[in-house]
Amino acid sequence: MKNENIYFLSDIHLGLPDYSKSLVREKLLVKFLDEIKTTAKAIYFVGDIFDFWWEYKSVVPKGFVRFFGKLAELSDSGIKIHFFTGNHDIWLKNYLSEELGITIHHKELKLDLGNKKVFVAHGDGLGPGDSGYKFLKALFTNKFLQWWFTRLHPNFAFFIARNWSQGRRKKEKYSDFKGYDKELLILFANETLKTEKIDYFIFGHRHFPMKIPLNNNSELINLGDWIVNFTYAVFDGENLNLKTYKKSKIENFETRLDAKYKLDIFD
């Protein structure tokens, strides 16, 4: 059905690890967006679209021209585009909304899609524990510290931020599934279901594609990434399915998770 699907994708990390390799993924992303434009009613980018993003009053990061051009085309055609801030692009402000008509979300969002209740968030900082990261996020969102960082020359500021991002990545193990009783987003979702009826929880952040049953006939969909997996979710008005755009890039996660957590990925 034309222009009725709603798409979700996250963790593209444009700019990573360098210009040439990021450009390959950017072109692939633009190709994907061009292919879905006749079926898309809305597109939700659920955080970490950029590996680093910072807006000065008159300066934004250079690059990503093909991606922005495609977003402008889609937005001008009437497709609703939403950006959630992630832990790598938490500093998105008003540039994309003013230039491209994109809606920016700095917090989680609850949607009514047809007769389905949907909870959407990047996922960082949700759930119990992880106090170290929550403290770090509080620093990143502190207005005074943001003001101080803006005083730095963009070349120097971006050098600091990108080196920090690369260093953090070496310590992170996104693809390690910790178990049903240890994954913070699963714990968060099941706790939420004690007081609310949610049909689907949609998260990014963890980088591995996963569709897993929860309590009360709910499901959690982790969107994966566009670094290794090239996965996305699509809601067709009735069901929400996790799909892959580039099958050859999929690692065999089914062998890495118990059968209980078997992926539900469709071509």
pLDDT of residue 62: 86
Confidence class for position 216, pLDDT limits 50, 70, 90: confident
**Domains of the chain (ranges, CATH numbers):** 5-266 (3.60.21.10)
Residue holding tokens 């977003």?
Answer: 71
pLDDT of residue 72: 96
Q: What is the pTM assigned to this prediction?
A: 0.84
Average confidence (pLDDT) over 123-149: 69
Report the alpha-carbon distance of residue 242 to residue 45 in Å, rounded: 15
Q: pLDDT of 6-62, one tens digit each? A: 999 999 999 888 888 889 999 999 999 999 999 999 999 998 899 888 788 888 888
Confidence class for position 1, pLDDT limits 50, 70, 90: low
Which positions ≥6 away from 20 have C-beta within 8 Å? none
Residue 256 pLDDT > 60, yes or no?
Answer: no
pLDDT of residue 80: 96
pLDDT of residue 262: 39
pLDDT of residue 154: 78
Q: pLDDT of 97-127, one tens digit each? A: 999 999 999 889 999 998 999 999 998 867 6
Give the residue, 205 or 89, on which the prediction is more confident: 205
pLDDT of residue 259: 39
**Phi, psi dihedrals of residue 118, rounded to the nearest 5°:** -125, 135
| Residues 243, 69, 161: CA angle, nearest 5 degrees | 80
Exposed e or buried b per residue across 170-209, where buried means at least 16 C-beta atoms within 10 angstroms of its C-beta: eeeeebebeeeeebbbbbbbbebbeeeebbbbbbbbbbbb
pLDDT of residue 130: 66
pLDDT of residue 175: 56
Closest alpha carbon to 47 in 11, 97, 95: 11
